[in-house]
Amino acid sequence: MALIELKNVTMSYEGMRVITNLSLSVNKGDYLCIVGENGTGKTTLIKGLLGLKKLDSGEIVFGDGLKKNEIGYLPQQSDLQRDFPASVREVVLSGRINKKGFCPFFTSKDRKICTDAMKRLEIDTLASKCYHDLSGGQQQRVLLARAICASENLLILDEPVSGLDLVAAEEMYAVIDRLNSEGMTVIMISHDIKRVQKLNGFILHLGHKKEIFYGKSSEYKKYAIESGLWEKDI
């Protein structure tokens, strides 16, 4: 059974229909990139997957035992988040909160998962540093480690390289690629169509005229060229 299955999903944003009868499946270990112009429903769809926004119609089915509170989510970072006055360890450990239930305390297991996530993202040496003192690239790694603490199966990333310079962005892409190669399922919104086309995964393109491309990344370049999208980032 698919990890996530969308069945004829229709969604609106501020009263306007942005997604119509979308059906697709995401299997364990897949790498799905969602691209498209602003206002085409990318973030709206992500919020639907997270249960933060209701569907107009259709259904989202979770399989393989996946629950909504077992999804690691990295949203677009706000200025408020960038100035958050907490240590790196505290930010990463907060990814375990949704798994606490009625227990208000972090366990030794929680702390080990936090430490392992920081080592995995190569930020363990920053554990005691204040989050707002870090570079943009380091902050994104911290938030990614936080998302990993929330889930060992699925990461949903909303423009994870937004605001980063070219070097930091490429480093972040490399980290995400590695996590996927290690078995993590990744769903990511990106505006960099040339970069995501190189990935060994799938691309979902959402367009203003409700046109949709869904298929292997290796097949997307032809669509992008024919649609006049290849010479610009969207």
Task: Report whether pLDDT(213) > 70.
Answer: yes
Q: Which helix (H) or strand (E) holds 8?
A: strand 4-13
Q: What is the mean pLDDT of the chain?
A: 88
pLDDT (0 to 100) of residue 28: 93
Dig out the tokens for 48 from the structure: 């639907």
pLDDT (0 to 100) of residue 234: 47
Residue 133 has a CB neighbour count (10 Å cut-off) of: 11
If one compares 41 and 102, the residue with the highest pLDDT of the two is: 41
Q: How far is CA 228 from the centre of its chain?
A: 26
Task: Report whether pLDDT(157) > 70.
Answer: yes
Which of the four pLDDT bands, split at 50, 70 and 90, describes residue 36?
confident
Contact 166/147 with Cβ under 8 angstroms? Answer: no
pLDDT (0 to 100) of residue 125: 96
User: Over the Cα atoms of the chain, what is R_g?
Assistant: 18
Rounded Cα distance, 151 and 161, in Å: 20
Rounded Cα distance, 173 and 157, in Å: 11
Q: What is the mean pLDDT of residues 190-202?
A: 84
Rounded Cα distance, 180 and 175, in Å: 9
If one compares 155 and 225, the residue with the highest pLDDT of the two is: 155
Rounded Cα distance, 122 and 31, in Å: 22
pLDDT (0 to 100) of residue 208: 74
Give this prediction's pTM: 0.89
